[in-house]
């Protein structure tokens, strides 16, 4: 499998990775930027997300309409996203259209126009997007919680920024950040599918030949976050449901414990057979949406339980959730339950191998996070090797009374939670 993957690093620092997938007539190609909201100064909060939007407004040679028409002609499978740690632009096209798709992608990423009037309009669009988040209770609670959990750290700032910061993103400010941070050493170009590596390297070298070399980029020093353990109760009386988050520190994306951690999260709340789903939804009918998952950054992780329930049932949902955390701390997960989690994880990996989009995304993430390729076989063998003792070790390290955090949002008059209630 590994001989289908090739990697090239150009003198200017640009990294190009390809994975040839026999039998396909499609290819997913993308440009990932090693920059996200955690790499922004406080006064520039939201500028990575803003640039992700702004590049669609035109380049030196294409209008916004040109980009839209070209994208539709190529099949319309265009995705762009911003996270706390990366920004990405991907397209899935027929293999014959790779040169045109890459020309469009690279033009947008390397040579955006940043017209002042376009930027002012986009500021309004993004401020409307923020309002949409405020009108979506689970997302709104997530942002409130994140700000309290990662207080005084860039990971606690919203990816989309604030109305105050976004309103300052004029042409000069946006172009300066783009020129500095979208330099070749911060870019990873990946394609998966019916792709010839040397052909893509040639296209990439041509597209980014005017870009500055590796020495022209200022390195960003990333401060490791020190998570807080907030108890956050936010009243919003117009809501029908109460929304709940219970969270704790978790292994980061580079941790050797990440395989055991992912299986543990799956057992607790990763699917319809999980403990939380069965206990809260199936056995008692207390919630429609309930589950658990984790966010893994390069140097920090957060496990969280989420549930939406009627305010009068919130206490019971909290107690049931805490009971599941106490249970995995005190008792080993059974072999049968562990095998179910492993089967679920392995199936997900194997199904993902059929998707050029999934493979391209995995290649990019591994390069950015680990600086190396981690094969599906290696991941599967690491998952299969996880023992109940490994999972209990993660549980005991993560689910400690002093580290647990809780947030709730809704019509919560008189509702309180004290620290003693979170005793594990």
Is the entire prediction scored with pTM above 0.85? yes
64-96 pLDDT tens trace: 999 999 999 998 799 999 999 999 999 999 999
**Strand pairing report for 26-33 and 77-82:** unpaired
pLDDT at 251 > cutoff 70: yes
Residue 220: pLDDT band by 50, 70, 90 thresholds?
Answer: low
Residue 1: pLDDT band by 50, 70, 90 thresholds?
Answer: very low
Taking the C-alpha atoms of residue 40 and residue 87, their distance in angstroms, rounded to an integer, is: 12
pLDDT at 215: 47
400-423 pLDDT tens trace: 999 999 999 999 988 999 999 999
- Whole-angstrom Cα Rg for the chain: 23
Q: Which residue has the tokens 């980061």?
A: 252
Neighbour-count burial for 95-108, b at 16+ CB within 10 Å, e otherwise: eebbeebbebbbbb
148-190 pLDDT tens trace: 999 999 999 999 999 999 999 999 999 999 999 999 999 999 9
Q: Are 172 and 119 a contacting pair, CB within 8 Å?
A: no
5-31 pLDDT tens trace: 999 999 999 999 999 999 999 999 999
Helix axis angle for 98-110 and 64-73, nearest 10°, is: 150
Ramachandran angles phi, psi of 170, nearest 5°: -85, -175
pLDDT at 413: 86
Handedness of CA 158, 164, 167, 171 (dihedral sign): negative
pLDDT at 381: 98
pLDDT at 218: 55
pLDDT at 223: 84
pLDDT at 221: 60
Residue % of the chain over a pLDDT of 90: 94
Q: Is 389 a catalytic residue?
A: no
pLDDT at 214: 42
pLDDT at 210: 59
Kindly provide the residue ranges of all beta strands, DSSP E only, lying in 10-76, ordered along the sequence. 15-20, 26-33
* Full set of structural domains in the chain with CATH: 2-210 (3.30.830.10), 231-422 (3.30.830.10)
In 3D space, the residue among 216, 143, 190 whose CA is nearest the CA of residue 367 turns out to be: 190
365: number of Cβ within 10 Å:
18
pLDDT at 414: 85
Neighbour-count burial for 280-300, b at 16+ CB within 10 Å, e otherwise: bbeeeebbeebbbbbbbbbbb
Q: Which residue has the tokens 């309002």?
A: 131
Q: What are the DSSP calls for 233-247, one per residue?
A: EEE-TT-SSEEEEEE
115-155 pLDDT tens trace: 999 999 999 999 999 999 999 999 999 999 999 999 999 99
In the set 19, 40, 52, 85, the catalytic residue is: 52
Q: Are 380 and 282 a contacting pair, CB within 8 Å?
A: no
Residue with the bigger pLDDT between 24 and 2: it is 24
* Arithmetic mean of pLDDT over the chain: 95
């Amino acid at each position: 499998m590994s001989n289908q993957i090739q990697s090239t690093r150009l003198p200017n620092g640009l990294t190009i990775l390809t994975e040839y997938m026999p039998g396909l007539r499609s290819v997913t190609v993308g440009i990932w930027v090693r920059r996200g909201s955690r790499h922004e100064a406080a006064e520039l909060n939201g500028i990575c997300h803003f640039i992700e939007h702004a590049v669609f407004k035109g380049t030196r040679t294409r209008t916004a309409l040109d980009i839209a028409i070209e994208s539709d002609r190529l099949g319309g499978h265009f995705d762009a996203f911003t996270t706390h740690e990366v920004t990405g632009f991907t397209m899935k096209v027929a293999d014959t259209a790779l040169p045109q798709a890459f020309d469009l992608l690279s033009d947008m990423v390397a040579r955006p126009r940043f017209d002042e009037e376009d930027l002012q309009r986009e500021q309004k669009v993004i401020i409307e997007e923020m309002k949409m988040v405020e009108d979506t209770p689970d997302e709104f609670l997530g942002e409130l919680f994140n700000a309290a959990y990662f207080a005084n750290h860039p990971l606690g700032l919203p990816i989309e920024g604030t109305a105050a910061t976004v309103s300052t993103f004029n042409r000069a400010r946006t172009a300066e950040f783009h020129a500095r941070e979208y330099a070749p050493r911060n870019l990873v170009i990946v394609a998966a599918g019916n792709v010839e590596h040397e052909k893509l390297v040639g296209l990439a070298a041509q597209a980014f030949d005017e870009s500055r070399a590796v020495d022209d980029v200022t390195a960003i020093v990333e401060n490791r976050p020190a998570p807080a353990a907030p108890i956050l109760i936010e009243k919003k009386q117009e809501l029908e449901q109460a929304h709940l988050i219970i969270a704790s520190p978790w292994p980061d994306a580079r941790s050797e414990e990440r395989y055991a951690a992912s299986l543990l999260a799956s057992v607790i709340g990763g699917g319809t057979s999980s403990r939380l789903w069965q206990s809260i939804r199936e056995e008692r009918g207390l919630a429609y949406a309930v589950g658990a998952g984790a966010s893994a950054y390069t140097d920090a992780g957060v496990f969280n339980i989420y549930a939406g329930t009627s305010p009068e049932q919130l206490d019971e949902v909290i107690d049931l959730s805490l009971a599941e955390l106490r249970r995995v701390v005190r008792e080993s997960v059974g072999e049968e339950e562990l095998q179910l989690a492993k089967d679920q994880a392995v199936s997900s990996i194997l199904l993902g191998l059929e998707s050029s989009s999934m493979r391209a995304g995995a290649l990019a993430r591994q390069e950015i996070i680990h600086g190396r390729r981690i094969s599906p076989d290696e991941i599967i063998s690491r998952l299969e090797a996880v023992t109940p003792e490994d999972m209990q070790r993660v549980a005991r390290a993560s689910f400690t009374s002093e580290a647990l955090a809780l947030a709730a949002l809704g019509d919560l008059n008189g509702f309180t939670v004290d620290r003693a209630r979170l005793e594990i």
